[in-house]
Amino acid sequence: MWSSRRRFRARDELAFHRDRLIEGFVADGMDRKAAERRVFLEFGNTAALEEASRDVRGRWLNDFVKDGSYALRALRRNPAFATVAVLSLALAIGANTAIFSLVNAVLLRPLPIHEPDRLVQITRLTPEGRPANVSYPLFEHLRDHVQAISGAFAHASLRASILIDGEQEFAAADIVTGDYFNVLGLAPGAGRLLGPADDVLSSAVPAAVISDGYWQRRFNRSPSAIGRTFTTRDRVFTIVGVMPATFRSVRVGTTPDLVLPMVLTISDSQRTEPTNNSLKMLARLKPGATVAQVSAEGQTLWRTFIEPLAAKVPGGLRAEVRDRRVGALPSPDGINDFRSDLSEPLLILMGLVVFILLLAAVNLSGLLVAKAAARQREISIRLAIGAGRGRLVRQFLTESFVLACIGGAMGLALAAWLSTGLTALFLNGRDLDLSVGPDWRVLTFTAAVALTVCILAGLVPALQAIRVNLNPALKRVRATGHGRLGRALVMTQVAISMVLVVGATLFVGTLVKLYAVERGFDGNGVVAVYIRSTGPFPDERGAALVADLVARLRVLPGVESASAAQVLPLSGNDWTRGIELPADAIRPGDSSTAFNAVTPGYFTTLGTSLLAGRDFDARDTASAQPVAIVNKSFARYFFGTAPAVGRRVTSLKVPYVIVGVVGDAMYEDLRKGFRQTMYIPSAQREGEQQPPSYKYLVRVASGDPARLGPTIARLVGETDPALQMTDAVTYATLVDRSIPAERILATLGGVFGVLALVTAGIGMFALLAFQVARRTNELGVRMVLGATRGSMVGLVLRDVGWMLVPGIALGAGAALMVTDLARGVLFGLTPTDPTVFAVAALVLTVAALAAAWLPARRAARVDPLVALRHE
Amino acid sequence: MGAAAPKSDLLQGTLDVLILKVVALGPIHGYAIAQRLQQMSGAVLQVQQGSLYPALHRLEKRKWLKAEWAASETGRDARFYTLTRLGRTQLDEQRANWTRLSTAITGVLGTAK
């Protein structure tokens, strides 16, 4: 290599000079030996001279390569150290990368479209400022009148039952208006994409586009797919093209098979009713236009849209006019449901793993310090013969750099595996696809993380090593400074662990408190069944099918009771309806309530108690007097202490007579408490009776209710061939699914907490064991002088105390500063709950005592005679 | 740490210009530079190797000198330094500087007498 030849020559040059000097002296008549000695003295330190000559030449890279290969050789020689260091790094970097991959996929990554930064969502906004849906007429109004946009489209997702090649199958479909692909700026993967001409009611040949995935799966990428037809919603569609492979949908996480023109797929009421809000609207900003401009225009247009409408409607659409606004939101990532659901827990997790990373850095630092202590003599010698201190620091950093590189590469591999599990945890049973593959952002992040660890971990031992006092080190006197530094590092580990354990305690505590919330129903032994159909049902047949299905479920062996409901408690759906109370109620007039339609036996199946009156039964048919059951909160809120049974409530102009009062049950969210709820019999529900819109509940007498799954699936198909069971989940699972963020935080927070405890425990154990071994001699002397075994243990425990107490205090201080960020996800606990901090401190103390157990025992068992001969 | 401070009695920065001057006389190796300096100064200036070689390498890195291996007068390979065009400009500049400075200093010291 050029560099080594160059150094060789630099040495040659000096040798030449030296030899010429010697020859000169010899020529002057000096004895050769004496001449050599004289020249040697005159030349002084050749090593330093060589180093000096070399430093002039800027050979940093060369040193780096050399130090790198030296570090690799050192690692191979010390496999135990290498394994521990690399594994702990890989774990920390892997966890960081995995969570960052999710953050990237959920919060950072824009859609793979042309100039995603100019994509905005124009939408109705809830009073809290969250996006709601828009209706088709509102979409048209905004599309045609907002000046600051160059184009807009509406979007909805649905599962369609399609008939293709004589086979009936379900396909996920995006239904979009004509400018979808124009606004996104996409080019077709094959054929052509949809345009405004396809999105008209009079379309002679209804066109559809398929996704690259569907093209592969269904047609094996055959070009003949274009021109094929399928039937859905009584219309024959012709496939005209394939979307590019890079693009799936404007709704993040969905993987549609088909894209259909909107006006050909939505119902007449969806197309024409100005308040049928079921669509999302996205638009592209004109160059130079801002989101604020679109917001301002949208709000003005909203007023011109809603106020004339409200004037015509009896109720005046009060809530719409008063509470709703229209605004624009930047949407480079399209319609992202994950953002609102997951961003908080994700950012909290990101914060937690940063502490894990710090812990790994401190851990590695400790290992490197110990290793450097073993090399202290070598380093002292190198310093004594003139090695530069900067040069040694670079060597230490190179060593930790090599470790960080290996750890980073392994971490990246580990992250790929971890993210799969994490994604499943985050999707929480939802049928969505979150691609978390590494892109340049993830790779940059991992590199930055690895580099930070390398510098954090490498600097401490490097600075420690070169601060050495040469004399005692060379004389083989044991260094004492290492003990103090080691203790500081363990104390730091305790502090970081404290933060993580406080976090874990908060999250686990939150979960425990959520599970302890009184729900008003008993889900044990209950399975919830979801079904779907291949086509619409006529109303009458639909109602009969619901009753038939419930009747068949009820007589299955081992089943105690069965029923159906439109909305299940804690299932993520809710149904609110406007009602009108009579003049004699406490709160007469217009109001709203949580609403549900259920079959007889629903309350028995869910274990909600009947407090007054009766349950629905066979008398409550579609033609009979409309009846209702209300919950306790409803009765108390509207009627006070007066009996509710016999009173009237009107909804959608139907006057219902209350026939029963039931206990409160938790519907929306475990955090939100009970709402006033009104139930009507499913048989009396007006409008379409679609069996799939009901959820079926089955309570078993004993055992795991999930075992009935296959039986129920068969039974559903037997009841009607057009029905299919999609899911049968135990109620426990359903409840779990209602608190995904809390469960993730408790699980991962707990894992991180335990990881931190183990790391800090091992660090402390190693340090104490080393101290006891080092002080064997001294301990022996103490024993001879009359110290008791108890005082030996006391010595070790004092060491523990010196690391534990400041560590816990420091960690508690740090935790106090950061836990407030998690306030939003906590339940029943405050971020500064003293009990939580006390529990965390206790857990750490127990872990520390466990770590001290063996060293303390060893100290107590020191045999004075053996100890004095030690060394 | 690294390069030791020049141990000669030379004024800081003057070693460079002296080397440039010696090298300006023709291709020459390190040992001979030290010898020449000693001779030319009437044995007043003794340059230590610890100063000479770092200075040579520094000047080479600045592209004032260039070096190549060639057979020396004894037949053994030595590293010969020659002045570059840039080095020559530097030499002229620094020599002018020195003359100005030394005239000034001599003037001041003379007046004080």
Q: How far is B1 from chain A (nearest CA, A)?
A: 5
**Residue A123 shares a structural domain with residue A232:** yes
The residues pairing with A332 across neighbouring beta strands, listed in sequence order, are: none
Work out the mean pLDDT of chain A and round it to a whole number: 84
A733 domain-assigned: no
Q: Which residues contact A118 (CB under 8 A, 6 or more apart)?
A: A284, A285, A287
Question: What is the CATH number that goes with domain B14-112?
Answer: 1.10.10.10
Domain final residue pick, A292, A308, A332: A332
Contact A390 B61 (CB under 8 A): no
**What gap in Å lies between CA A507 and CA A823, rounded to an integer?**
11
In this prediction, residue A341 carries a pLDDT of 76
C-beta separation of A286 from A148 below 8 A: yes
Confidence of residue A611 (pLDDT cuts 50, 70, 90): very high
Q: Would you call B4 an interface residue with chain A, using a CB distance cutoff of 8 Å?
A: yes
A692 domain-assigned: yes
Q: Which candidate from A20, A43, A388 shows the least CB-CB separation from B31?
A: A20
C-beta separation of A524 from A731 below 8 A: yes
Per-residue pLDDT for B37 more than 80? yes
Q: Percent of chain A, pLDDT > 70?
A: 92
Per-residue pLDDT for B1 more than 50? no
Per-residue pLDDT for B8 more than 50? no
Per-residue pLDDT for A66 more than 90? no
* Alpha-helix runs per DSSP H in B1-113: 14-24, 30-40, 49-61, 85-112
C-beta separation of A463 from A397 below 8 A: no
Q: Which pLDDT tens digit goes with each residue over A355-383? A: 988 888 888 888 888 777 777 777 777 77
A734 domain-assigned: no
Per-residue pLDDT for A773 more than 90? no
Higher per-residue confidence, A187 vs A394? A187
Nearest 5°: the CA angle A289, A290, A295 is 120
- Chain A contact set for B49 (CB, 8 A): 14, 17, 42-44, 49
**What gap in Å lies between CA A147 and CA A120, rounded to an integer?**
14
**Residue A175 shares a structural domain with residue A95:** no
In this prediction, residue A578 carries a pLDDT of 80
**What gap in Å lies between CA A758 and CA A843, rounded to an integer?**
12
Contact A16 B79 (CB under 8 A): yes
Q: Which domain holds residue A437?
A: 59-109+341-479
In this prediction, residue A125 carries a pLDDT of 87
Task: Please tell me which residue of chain A has the smallest CA distance to B51.
Answer: A49
Instruction: Enumerate long-range contacts of A70-78, CB under 8 Å, 24 or more apart.
Output: A70/A395, A70/A398, A71/A398, A71/A399, A71/A401, A71/A402, A71/A403, A72/A402, A74/A399, A75/A402, A75/A403, A78/A371
Q: Would you call A303 an interface residue with chain B, using a CB distance cutoff of 8 Å?
A: no
Q: Which pLDDT tens digit goes with each residue over A479-537? A: 444 567 888 888 898 999 999 999 999 999 999 999 998 899 998 899 999 988 876 66
Q: Which pLDDT tens digit goes with each residue over A96-108? A: 998 898 888 888 8
In this prediction, residue A670 carries a pLDDT of 87
Tokens coding A372: 């450097």
Higher per-residue confidence, B21 vs B41? B21
Per-residue pLDDT for A3 more than 50? no
A727 domain-assigned: no
**Residue A572 shares a structural domain with residue A713:** yes
Contact A9 B79 (CB under 8 A): yes
- Chain A contact set for B39 (CB, 8 A): none
Contact B1 A49 (CB under 8 A): no
Give the number of A-B residue pairs with CB atoms closer than 8 Å: 67
Chain B residues 40-79 with CB within 8 Å of chain A: 48-50, 53-54, 57-58, 61, 69, 72, 74, 76-79
Per-residue pLDDT for A89 more than 50? yes
Q: Best-predicted range by mean pLDDT among A8-17, A557-566, A690-699?
A: A557-566
Interface test with A, best of B53, B59, B65, B73 (most A CBs within 10 A): B53
Closest among A530, A667, A663, A556 to A607, alpha carbons compared: A663
Per-residue pLDDT for A116 more than 50? yes
- Chain A contact set for B48 (CB, 8 A): 42, 44
Q: Would you call A115 an interface residue with chain B, using a CB distance cutoff of 8 Å?
A: no
Orientation of helix A481-516 relative to helix A789-818, angle to 10°: 60
Mean per-residue pLDDT, A422-438: 74
**Residue A227 shares a structural domain with residue A349:** no
Q: Which candidate from A42, A43, A51 shows the least CB-CB separation from B2?
A: A51
Per-residue pLDDT for A289 more than 70? yes
**Residue A256 shares a structural domain with residue A318:** yes
Confidence of residue A472 (pLDDT cuts 50, 70, 90): low
**Residue A562 shares a structural domain with residue A702:** yes
C-beta separation of A622 from A683 below 8 A: yes
Number of folded domains that form chain A: 5
Interface test with B, best of A7, A20, A391 (most B CBs within 10 A): A20
Q: Which pLDDT tens digit goes with each residue over A29-58? A: 888 888 888 887 776 666 666 665 555 445
A484 domain-assigned: no
Encoded amino acid at A700, one letter: V
Nearest 5°: the CA angle A10, A16, A20 is 155
**Residue A147 shares a structural domain with residue A289:** yes
pTM higher than 0.80: no
In this prediction, residue A427 carries a pLDDT of 76
Per-residue pLDDT for A6 more than 60? no
Per-residue pLDDT for B7 more than 50? no
CA dihedral defined by A109, A115, A117, A119, rounded to 10 degrees? -100
What is the biggest distance separating any 2 CA atoms in chain A, rounded to whole angstroms?
A: 136
* Alpha-helix runs per DSSP H in A428-526: 440-466, 470-474, 481-516
Q: Would you call A20 an interface residue with chain B, using a CB distance cutoff of 8 Å?
A: yes
Interface test with B, best of A19, A49, A467 (most B CBs within 10 A): A49
Contact A20 B74 (CB under 8 A): yes
Q: Would you call A52 an interface residue with chain B, using a CB distance cutoff of 8 Å?
A: yes
Mean per-residue pLDDT, A766-787: 81
- Chain A contact set for B34 (CB, 8 A): 17
Q: Which residues contact A471 (CB under 8 A, 6 or more apart)?
A: none
In this prediction, residue A376 carries a pLDDT of 74
Mean per-residue pLDDT, A456-468: 77
**Residue A49 shares a structural domain with residue A68:** no
Mean per-residue pLDDT, A314-339: 79
Which string of DSSP letters, residue by residue, matches A16-41? Answer: HHHHHHHHHHHHTT--HHHHHHHHHH
**Residue A508 shares a structural domain with residue A547:** no
Task: Please tell me which residue of chain B has the smallest CA distance to A383.
Answer: B1
Q: How far is A371 from chain B (nearest CA, A)?
A: 24
SS3 state at B12: coil
**Residue A402 shares a structural domain with residue A357:** yes
Q: How far is B76 from chain A (nearest CA, A)?
A: 8
Q: Which candidate from A48, A51, A56 shows the least CB-CB separation from B61?
A: A56
**What gap in Å lies between CA A554 and CA A601, rounded to an integer?**
10
Interface test with B, best of A5, A9, A12, A13 (most B CBs within 10 A): A13
Q: Which pLDDT tens digit goes with each residue over A718-761? A: 888 888 888 889 998 888 888 888 888 999 899 889 988 888 88
Contact A53 B57 (CB under 8 A): yes
Question: A54-77: string of b/e by CB count within 10 Å (b at 16+)?
Answer: bbbbeeeebbeeebbeebeeebee
Closest among A820, A30, A854, A704 to A348, alpha carbons compared: A820
In this prediction, residue A2 carries a pLDDT of 43
Contact B76 A16 (CB under 8 A): yes
Per-residue pLDDT for B5 more than 50? no
Task: Please tell me which residue of chain A has the smallest CA distance to B31.
Answer: A17
Higher per-residue confidence, A454 vs A804? A804
**What gap in Å lies between CA A567 and CA A598, rounded to an integer?**
8
Interface test with A, best of B56, B57, B61, B64 (most A CBs within 10 A): B57
Contact A52 B72 (CB under 8 A): no
**What gap in Å lies between CA A640 and CA A664, rounded to an integer?**
15
Encoded amino acid at B1, one letter: M
Q: Which pLDDT tens digit goes with each residue over A189-208? A: 989 999 999 988 887 889 99
**What gap in Å lies between CA B110 and CA B102, rounded to an integer?**
12
Rounded alpha-carbon distances, angstroms, from residue A202 to A197, A622, A701: 10, 39, 57
Contact A57 B61 (CB under 8 A): yes
Tokens coding A622: 């579609």
Domain boundaries, chain B: 14-112
- Chain A contact set for B76 (CB, 8 A): 16, 19
Q: Would you call B5 an interface residue with chain A, using a CB distance cutoff of 8 Å?
A: no
Beta-carbon count within 10 A of A825 CB: 18
C-beta separation of A577 from A652 below 8 A: yes
Q: Which candidate from A9, A12, A43 shows the least CB-CB separation from B49?
A: A43
In this prediction, residue A21 carries a pLDDT of 84
Contact A20 B2 (CB under 8 A): no
Tokens coding A447: 């590199």
Task: Please tell me which residue of chain A has the smallest CA distance to B59.
Answer: A56
Interface test with A, best of B46, B49, B63 (most A CBs within 10 A): B49
Confidence of residue A455 (pLDDT cuts 50, 70, 90): confident
The residues pairing with B70 across neighbouring beta strands, listed in sequence order, are: B78
Contact A56 B54 (CB under 8 A): yes
Q: Which residues contact A142 (CB under 8 A, 6 or more apart)?
A: A122, A134, A152, A281, A298, A301, A326
In this prediction, residue A481 carries a pLDDT of 47
- Chain A contact set for B74 (CB, 8 A): 20
C-beta separation of A323 from A127 below 8 A: yes
**Residue A319 shares a structural domain with residue A458:** no
Choice among A203-207, A360-364, A459-463, A803-807 with the minimum mean pLDDT: A459-463
Q: Which pLDDT tens digit goes with each residue over A386-420? A: 777 777 788 888 888 888 888 889 988 888 888 88
Query: A310 exposed, middle or buried (CB, 10 Å; 0-12, 13-18, 19+)?
Result: middle
Q: Would you call A13 an interface residue with chain B, using a CB distance cutoff of 8 Å?
A: yes
Per-residue pLDDT for A566 more than 80? yes
Mean per-residue pLDDT, A8-37: 82
Q: Percent of chain A, pLDDT > 90?
A: 27
Rounded alpha-carbon distances, angstroms, from residue A35 to A15, A30, A824, B35, B45: 14, 6, 83, 17, 21
**Residue A581 shares a structural domain with residue A612:** yes
In this prediction, residue A61 carries a pLDDT of 67
Rounded alpha-carbon distances, angstroms, from residue A2 to A7, A8, A73, A310, A512: 9, 10, 23, 85, 67
Per-residue pLDDT for B4 more than 50? no
